[in-house]
Chain A
Amino acid sequence: MAPPIRAIDPRFRLGTQVFSFAFHRLGIFRKLPDGWHAEIPRTSAVTCGLNCQACELAWLACPTGMLQRYVIDNRFPFYILGILLLVGVTVGRWTCGWICPLGLVLDTVNKGCKHKYEPPDWMRGIKYVYLGGLVVLASVTGAIFFCRYLCFGAVLGIVPYWLTWQTVSYTWLFYHLGMFSFYLTFSYFTAGRAWCRYFCPLGAALSLGGVFSMIKLRFNWVWCTKCGLCRKACPMGLDPTKTATLKNGLECIKCGRCAKVCPNKCLSVGPAPLLTPGKDEKQVRRVPVNGTGTEPHK
Chain B
Amino acid sequence: MDVRNRLKSGLSRLNVRIRENFLADDLVIRLRWFLLFTGILAVYIGLQVGDDWYVREFATYDWARGLGY
Contacts and interface: CB of A to CB of B under 8 A. Distances in A.
A289 to B, nearest CB: 7
Contacts of B26: 276-277
A186 interface: no
Q: Which bucket holds chain B's interface residue count?
A: 35 or more
Interface string A31-42: 000000000011
A114 B47 CA distance: 46
Given A161-B69, A246-B23, 7 more contacts: A44-B55, A80-B46, A88-B35, A89-B32, A89-B36, A246-B22, A277-B29
B7 interface: no
B60 interface: yes
The secondary structure that dominates the B interface is helix
Given A44-B59, A161-B64, A244 B23 contact: yes
Nearest to A66: B58
Interface string B20-61: 001101101101100110111111111101101111011111
Interface string A84-113: 111011100000000000000000000000
B67 A85 contact: no
Contacts of A267: none
Given A89-B36, A276-B29, A54 B23 contact: no
Given A89-B35, A212-B35, A281 B63 contact: no
A140 interface: no
Given A69-B58, A78-B49, A82-B41, A214 B32 contact: yes
